[in-house]
Amino acid sequence: MMVSITRFNNINVSSIAKKIKDAKTIVLTTHKQCDGDGLGAMLGLYHALKKFNKTVRVVAVDDIPRKYSFLEPDIHLESYDQLKHTIAETDLAMIFDTNDRRLVEPLYSELEKKCHDIIFIDHHPILNQGPEPTPGSFIDTSAASTGEIAYFVIKQLGIRLDEKIARALYTSLAFDTQIFKYVKNSGNTHLICAELLEFEHQAEKIHRALFANYTKKKVTYLGKVLSEVEYLADDRIAILNLSRKDLLDHDLDMDDSRDVIDMVMSIHTVLAAAIFREDGPNFYKMSLRSKGPVEVLGIAENFGGGGHMYAAGAEIRGLYREIRDRVVAQILARLDEPRRTSTG
């Protein structure tokens, strides 16, 4: 029996579809240090809108990690730091996979000058301590990926799927759910992917590009840093400090550090993990992960960051030991009383 996907679509995307219909020129972007979700969602919509006779430009804030080359970013998008032409006056800018304008700078300031309307299409909670999304933005925290929302927008516009759209959207859904591990207990991801796979016949190739792209040097790196994890509170907390030198010595991108925290979270006793990646002298990119009901978004917000309830991050300046101690104290407070501190 065919399952109707529309009955799982409880989100109202008609206001977004109307804005798109009314716009002649559109710029699409996502957060800096982009990932498969934001990239796949915006490229999916880009391929769809080209069929819809719109003038569309895709601009990334910075470089696209190498593993996404199968989406042909060199052909379809530009980096803001290497624009071929300046951004012209534009009717609509759509920003995917974040609702925090700070993560889109310095491009965001340029969009504010040039675009008549800017909206965020996202699935992260709106921050308690941070900038508000623009009016007319669409944020659905029940979506397991931003690509799910992009899929419903494309459907609402009545645009038929094709291989390029399906490849980009499938990348988005497969990336953010880590191949159906984090589906937010909904059938949406599977139902949408089943439809996408009628057009994309190389799903396994995408899975490999996203998650089996390691080099020997990367595995050596993982071996080294995983042996240095600090475990606290009866192995319920894992903490790790990743030096810039180690990443560079193993020919890795900053993006490669993402995998370390996922591996640590696979330890069944670990309920929360914090990784501090040294991005400069006394400057750290903190990534936090947790398993419900321990939320970590509030901790990231306390350091000026954001994210999801159970996966969040922030950029922090200061001495490692002091930052680490403050974060550990906040995780411990949540482990002891997860319900009281939970904001979700």
Residue 236 or 308: the one with the smaller Cβ distance to Mn ion is: 308
Q: Which residue has the CB atom at the shortest distance from Mn ion? A: 37
CB closer to Mn ion out of 31 and 285: 31
Stretch that binds Mn ion, among 151-159, 170-178, 273-281, 283-291 (CB under 5 A): 170-178
In terms of CB distance, is 17 or 174 closer to Mn ion?
174
Least distance in angstroms from the C-beta of 150 to Mn ion = 11
Minimum CB separation of residue 120 from Mn ion in Å reads 12
- Rounded distance, CA 323 to CA 327, Å? 6
In the complex, what is the shortest distance from the CB of residue 37 to Mn ion, in angstroms, rounded to a whole number? 3
* Nearer to Mn ion (CB atom), residue 23 or residue 71: 71
How far is the C-alpha of 304 from the C-alpha of 286, rounded, in Å?
11
Pick 23 or 174: Cβ nearer Mn ion: 174
In the complex with Mn ion, the residue whose CB is nearer, 179 or 233, is 179
Contact range with Mn ion by CB under 5 A, out of 169-177, 186-194, 287-295, 320-328: 169-177
Cβ 201 to Mn ion, closest distance in Å?
25
Distance of CA 48 to the CA centre of its chain: 21
> At its nearest, how many Å lie between Mn ion and the CB of residue 175?
8
Among 176, 200, 256, 301, binds Mn ion (CB under 5 A): 176
Binding mask 236-265 for Mn ion (x = CB under 5 A): ------------------------------
Q: Which is nearer to Mn ion, 124 or 250 (CB)?
A: 124
Smallest Cα–Cα separation from 308: which of 98, 61, 148? 98
Rounded least distance, CB 7 to Mn ion, Å = 24
**Shortest distance in whole angstroms from residue 145 CB to Mn ion:** 5
Distance CA 167, CA 233 (A): 43
For residues 146 and 257, which CB has a smaller minimum distance to Mn ion in the complex?
Answer: 146
What is the Cα–Cα distance from 227 to 258, expressed in whole angstroms?
16
CB of 307 to Mn ion, least distance (A): 9
Q: For Mn ion, which residue of 36, 37, 90, 330 counts as binding (CB under 5 A)? A: 37
Residue span binding Mn ion (CB under 5 A) among the ranges 10-18, 100-108, 175-183, 316-324: 175-183
CB closer to Mn ion, 108 vs 175 = 175
Q: Please tell me whether residue 122 binds Mn ion under the rule CB under 5 A.
A: no
User: Nearest distance from residue 181's CB to Mn ion, in Å?
Assistant: 14
SS (H, E, C) the chain: CCCCCHHHCCCCCHHHHHHHHHCCEEEEEECCCCCHHHHHHHHHHHHHHHCCCCEEEEEECCCCCHHHHHHCHHHHEEEHHHCCCCCCCEEEEEEECCCCHHHHCCHHHHHHHHEEEEEEEECCCCCCCCCCCCCCCEECCCCCCHHHHHHHHHHHCCCCCCHHHHHHHHHHHHHHCCCCCCCCCCCHHHHHHHHHCCCCCCHHHHHHHHHCCCCHHHHHHHHHHHCCCEEECCCCEEEEEECHHHHHHCCCCHHHHHHHHHHHHCCCCCCEEEEEEEEECCEEEEEEEECCCCCCHHHHHHCCCEECCCEEEEEEECCHHHHHHHHHHHHHHHHHCHHHHCCC
Q: Does 278 bind Mn ion (CB under 5 A)?
A: no
Q: State yes or no: residue 97 binds Mn ion (CB under 5 A).
A: yes
- What is the binding site for Mn ion (CB under 5 A)? 37, 97, 146, 176
